[in-house]
C-alpha cells in the first residue's frame, strides 16, 4: 500500500506536469508576434490571432443585390483561430457579433449571408469598410478593415530619370480633389521630385500629360486632364523651374491603360505621365 506522503508527492508531481502542459498549450496559442486587435473591433471570446498584415490593397466586398464593389485603401487583415478546447460559436454567431459592433458605431450592414459579412462605417469623415470571412464552421475567421484612401506613391527623382531613359515616360499617381485640379497635400512629395529631376538634369525637357477614366463626358474629362497637367506644371515652376522646359497636355479618357469597367482599372487610368521631350 502506498504511503500517504508518497501519494501527496506523486500527486504534486502530476499537478506540476499538468500545469506545465497547460502552460505550453497556452503559449502555443498566444497571439502572433506584433499582432493585436483593430482599435474599432474586439475579437470573439476564446479566439487568438494566428496572423495579421497591414498594407495598401484593394478588396472586393459583397454588397446588396448580388453585386460586389472593389474598394482601395489601407487594409488591416487579422486571422483569428479558436483556442483548443473552447466552445465553438456558430457561423451566424460570429457574423452577428460583428454586425452588432458595426451598428454600435453608427455604421450599416451591407451583406450578411452564408460565411460572408460586409459592413461600412463613416468615421471622422472617412469611409471604413469591414469584410468578414468565417471558415471551418466557426472555428476560424478573417477580419479585414479597410480605411478608404488613395495610394501615396513613393517615387524619387532618380527613379523618374531611369524610367525616362529606358521607356521615355513614367506614370505618376498624383491625388487631386474630386473633379478639380487642386493637388492634394499628400502628393506634394511627387511634385518635389519632379522639380529635383529637372534641377539635376539641366538639359531635360518634359511633357506633363493628364489622363482620366471614362466617368463623365469626353469633353469634360479632356478639360479636367488639361487643368490638372497645368496645375502640376505651375507647381513645378513655383520651385524655380523654367516654364519653357515643360508642356502641359490633357488627353482625357482617350488613352486608357486598364479596363474602365472595373474600379481598379479606372484608378489606373486616372494618372499623369511625364514624357521625355
12 or 108: whose pLDDT is higher? 108
Do 136 and 168 have their domain in common?
A: no
Q: How many residues does the chain have?
A: 277
Report the percentage of the chain scoring pLDDT > 90. 71
CATH number of the domain residue 186 falls in = 3.30.1330.60
Same domain, 136 and 192: no
Residue 109: its pLDDT value, please? 96
Domain end (from 104, 130, 148): 148
Residues 106, 196 within the same domain: no
β 108-113/116-123 pair status? antiparallel
Assign residue 50 the CATH number of its domain: 3.40.1000
What pLDDT, on a 0 to 100 scale, did the predictor assign at position 154? 80
Q: Could you tell me if residue 25 is inside a domain?
A: no
Ranges of H-type helices in the chain: 4-28, 91-104, 157-167, 188-200, 218-237, 263-269
Q: Which residue has the cell 457574423?
A: 95
On the question of pLDDT at 11 being above 50, the answer is no
pLDDT, residue 102, reads: 96
Same domain, 199 and 226: yes
Are 133 and 127 spatial neighbours (Cβ–Cβ below 8 Å)?
Answer: no
Query: 255 and 219, same structural domain?
Result: yes
In DSSP terms, 55 is beta-bridged to 75
- Domain match, 163 and 125 both: no
Location of C-alpha cell 471558415: 135
C-alpha triplet 9, 11, 12: angle, nearest 5°: 65
How distant, in Å, are the alpha carbons of 122, 160, 182, 251 from that of 226?
Answer: 33, 22, 12, 7
Q: What is the pLDDT of residue 2?
A: 52
In a domain, 14, yes or no: no
Is the pLDDT at 21 greater than 70? The verdict is: no
- Decide if 23 is inside a domain: no
pLDDT of 150 over the 70 cut: no
Q: Residues 51, 77: one domain?
A: yes
Whether residue 78 is predicted with pLDDT greater than 90 in this model: the reply is yes
Number of domains in the chain: 2
Pairing of strands 140-148, 169-172: unpaired
49 touches 32 (CB < 8 A) = yes
**pLDDT range class, residue 163, cuts 50, 70, 90:** very high
Helix (H, G, I), strand (E, B) or coil at 156: coil
Same domain, 134 and 170: no
| Mean pLDDT, residues 167-175 | 93
Pick the most confident of 17-31, 63-77, 87-101, 121-135: 87-101
What is the residue-averaged pLDDT of the chain? 89
**Residues 88 and 152: beta-carbon distance below 8 Å:** no
The answer to the question of residue 267 being in a domain is: yes
pLDDT at 22 over 60: no
Please tell me whether residues 171 and 115 are part of one structural domain: no
Of the three residues 148, 174, 190, the one that is the final residue of a domain is 148
The answer as to whether 269 is a domain residue is yes
State pTM to two decimals. 0.55
Domain containing residue 140? 30-148
For 132, the grid coordinates are 468578414
Same domain, 47 and 88: yes
Task: For residues 239 and 175, state if they share a domain.
Answer: yes
Predicted pLDDT at 29: 83
> Is the residue at 11 inside a domain?
no
Among 62, 98, 91, 58, CA closest to 74:
58
Task: Examine residue 92 and state whether it is found in any structural domain, yes or no.
Answer: yes
User: What b/e string do you get for 146-184 counting C-beta neighbours within 10 Å, with b at 16 or more?
Assistant: bbeebeebebebeebbebbeeeeebbbbbbbeeeebebe
Of 3-12, 171-180, 257-266, which range is least confident? Answer: 3-12
Distances (CA, A) of 85 to 2, 22, 29, 47, 111: 34, 11, 11, 11, 31
Boundary-marking domain end, from 125, 148, 171: 148
Instruction: Tell me: do 171 and 133 sit in the same domain.
Output: no
Amino acid at each position: 500500500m502506498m504511503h500517504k506522503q508518497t501519494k501527496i508527492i506523486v500527486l504534486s508531481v502530476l499537478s506540476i506536469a499538468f500545469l506545465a502542459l497547460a502552460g505550453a498549450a497556452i503559449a502555443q496559442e498566444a497571439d502572433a508576434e506584433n499582432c493585436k486587435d483593430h482599435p474599432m473591433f474586439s475579437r470573439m471570446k476564446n479566439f487568438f490571432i494566428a496572423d495579421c498584415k497591414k498594407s495598401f490593397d484593394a478588396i472586393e466586398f459583397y454588397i446588396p443585390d448580388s453585386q460586389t464593389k472593389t474598394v482601395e485603401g489601407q487594409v488591416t487583415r487579422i486571422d483569428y483561430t479558436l483556442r483548443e478546447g473552447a466552445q465553438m460559436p456558430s457561423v451566424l454567431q460570429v457574423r452577428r457579433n460583428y454586425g452588432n459592433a458595426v451598428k454600435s458605431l453608427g455604421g450599416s450592414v451591407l451583406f450578411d449571408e452564408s460565411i460572408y459579412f460586409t459592413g461600412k462605417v463613416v468615421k471622422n469623415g472617412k469611409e471604413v469598410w469591414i469584410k468578414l470571412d468565417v471558415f471551418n464552421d466557426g472555428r476560424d475567421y478573417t477580419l479585414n478593415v479597410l480605411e478608404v484612401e488613395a495610394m501615396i506613391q513613393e517615387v524619387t527623382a532618380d527613379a523618374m530619370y531611369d524610367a525616362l531613359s529606358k521607356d521615355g515616360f513614367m506614370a505618376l499617381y498624383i491625388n487631386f480633389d474630386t473633379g478639380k485640379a487642386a493637388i492634394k497635400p499628400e502628393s506634394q512629395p511627387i511634385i518635389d521630385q519632379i522639380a529635383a529631376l529637372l534641377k539635376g538634369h539641366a538639359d531635360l525637357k518634359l511633357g506633363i500629360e493628364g489622363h482620366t477614366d471614362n466617368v463623365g463626358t469626353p469633353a469634360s474629362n479632356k478639360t479636367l486632364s488639361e487643368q490638372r497637367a497645368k496645375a502640376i506644371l505651375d507647381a513645378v515652376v513655383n520651385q524655380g523651374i523654367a516654364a519653357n522646359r515643360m508642356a502641359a497636355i490633357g488627353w482625357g479618357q482617350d488613352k486608357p491603360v486598364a479596363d474602365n469597367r472595373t474600379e481598379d482599372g479606372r484608378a489606373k487610368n486616372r494618372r499623369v505621365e511625364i514624357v521625355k521631350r
